[in-house]
Structure 1
């Protein structure tokens, strides 16, 4: 049976186009619909991908402005679905929905929509840092522990790699929605005032970049997936080590884990997850992993319900895909390359 096209809202933007490229690489015959405000731009992306068509959309309309008779296997919102009509369209048609642009304090409408119509469509809440790829990598590292006590993630995003207009608008909107940070401290999810949430994030070459602990889905996701009583994620925007070397802006995520091994002896690890091409490949990976799982291209199609990335994708498999894309893990104890 032929799969219907995957509808990528914002498909001509950075996240959408990169997701399309990755899905095309993995599934050469998977049809795609690239949806955007500019038909010319969407058509260029569709032509480059092949087996794809382009459409314009209107997020203010319940039917998204799509012609009657169109059908899709999934709806992927790689931009802010500000009216939630992308979600409504997916529920009306009984197909999976993926979103990546709602912060921790913004997911309530999506959760309510899923709760009101629980049997209509699977909903993947992937508004994590890099659409869940960093969370999956961290959970993979945590599997070496018999008990995880604390998780500290420090992410450095290069200021010239913050995404296109939609990505920048997301950052500004989320900063307005909440300047407080969320951590898990002694087993309790705790809000941290902005002034107390300010921290420095260490780049892989040792440079300290001002940042802050943020309210992001990764914090409860990591805490509940591992049982760690202390979890935090700090985020900084500045010059990356790659750009300081005169290369492409890189992304650097430091992951520190503390706990115990099977004998009860203390165990810790400090790793950097890095990609020389920046955040774009990691974000596209998080989305693409969710899409192929939801529509049954990897495993069985997913039943209606509300899901997070770690519920659908094996972290070990995600790390395999990360390394295939050029990401690498570097010990924080290893001297950085000059």
Structure 2
């Protein structure tokens, strides 16, 4: 696509503001529009980045004709696909980085019901806007036949996090499916723990966690098994949450009447801390011998910054000369993984082989 206009819906939020900041620095030629439910917050963010501000409620979105052909970027939860439907109906290119697996499948159904889209629709909601899966794909280049991918995530309690991250984490106890031995297996959230080595950050216990990577990577890299687990850098917090989930107390707390109490446990954003991911790819080499590659990915600026970087790589690709034609895409399958990892490193993300 050739548009130089980008509408960041949720552009004044924790992740959205970092997307705007990165784009203002990396692509000063772009016309940025910060759209949000609160016009005052959008205006404040727009003033910082030399952008235009616009009020937009994701549950009743509207885009003036002046922004015809703009790339719409969803940085807030589009729970009822209304922003997606707007993009489909008006023929806008669309990028979403906010969906957990269930809502990703929902978006695919909504898109299919509309028929062939008139512009690219990119769903890049794997962990950190696809950054983890892109690093896994890059590591998989060293393995001729990929059998298993393991993604272990260390979430820093002092890291910045927005309400959308809390909504994602709020589903910790929800069951989900992963691929094992080429078959879909139902899993329980925050169960089946193991200890993962995060290098300089130490060893931490991590538990199963629902991310779209587990649904997408089996097809993308051909792995028969993909597992993702998460833990906190505070071992006591991880242990407490596991006990609450295992005992069934967390499910009781998931009732609407406990929303505020539950979110108070999950939403305690700090000033910022490094976000770390350990990715292990196992399989066979060209001669059929066992082999593998493990990498550690760390963003010293935290998970919001890493998510923003993942989103910016997708935006730049959609605006570039090699942008994909109209169609539906998974962001983590769309980009060249070697180039993406190089771009991440240039922005300060540490990716090292173990």
TM-score normalised over the length of structure 1:
0.86
Aligned to 1:188: 183
* Residue matched to 2:96: 99
Task: Give the superposed CA RMSD.
Answer: 2.4
Equivalent position of 1:57 in the other structure: 56
Q: Is the 8 A contact 2:209 2:229 kept in 1?
A: yes
1:299 aligns with 2:322: yes
Question: Do the aligned partners of 1:197 and 1:214 also contact (CA within 8 Å) in 2?
Answer: no
Which residue number corresponds to residue 315 of structure 1? 337
Native 8 Å contact 1:179 1:194 kept in 2: yes
1:209-265 Cα offsets, whole Å, 9 max, x none, are: 34321222111322112212121111123349xxxxxx9511111111222222223
Q: Summarize the Cα distance change of 1:277–1:123 in structure 2 as closer, same or farther, 3 Å threshold.
A: same
The correspondence for 2:114, drawn from 104, 112, 117, is 117
Please say if residues 181 and 197 of structure 1, whose CA atoms lie closer than 8 Å, have aligned partners that are also in contact: no
Matched residue, 1:277: 301
User: 1:77–1:99: 8 Å Cα contact kept in structure 2?
Assistant: yes
* Structure-2 residue corresponding to 1:204: 199
The correspondence of residues 41-56 of structure 1 with structure 2, limited to 5 A, is 41-50=41-50, 52-56=51-55
User: When the two structures are aligned, how many residues end up with a matched partner?
Assistant: 318
Structure 1: which 5+ runs fail to align?
Answer: 241-246, 333-338
Partners in 1 of 2:138 and 2:125 — Cα distance?
19
SS in 2 for 1:259: strand
2:72–2:94: 8 Å Cα contact kept in structure 1?
Answer: yes
Q: Does residue 138 of structure 2 align to residue 140 of structure 1?
A: yes
Structure 1 Cα separation of the partners of residues 157 and 296 of structure 2: 19
Whole-Å separation in 1 of the counterparts to 2:54 and 2:286: 54
Q: Decide whether the 8 Å contact of 1:181 with 1:213 is kept in 2.
A: no
In structure 2, the residue matched to 1:256 is 280
- Equivalent residue runs for 1:325-336 within 5 Å: 325-332=347-354
After alignment, is 11-20 or 285-294 more displaced?
285-294
Larger RCO of the pair (alpha carbons < 8 Å, separation 6+): 2
Unaligned residue ranges in structure 2 (runs of 5+): 236-270
Structure 1 residues 260, 78: CA separation in 2 closer, same or farther (over 3 Å shift)? same
Structure holding more helix per residue: 2
Residues in 1 aligned to 2:53 and 2:10: alpha-carbon distance in whole angstroms: 11
Instruction: Please point out which of 211, 214, 217 is paired with 1:216.
Output: 211
TM-superposition CA deviations, 1:186-210 (whole Å, max 9, x none): 1112112347433444332363434
More deviation, 40-49/189-198: 189-198
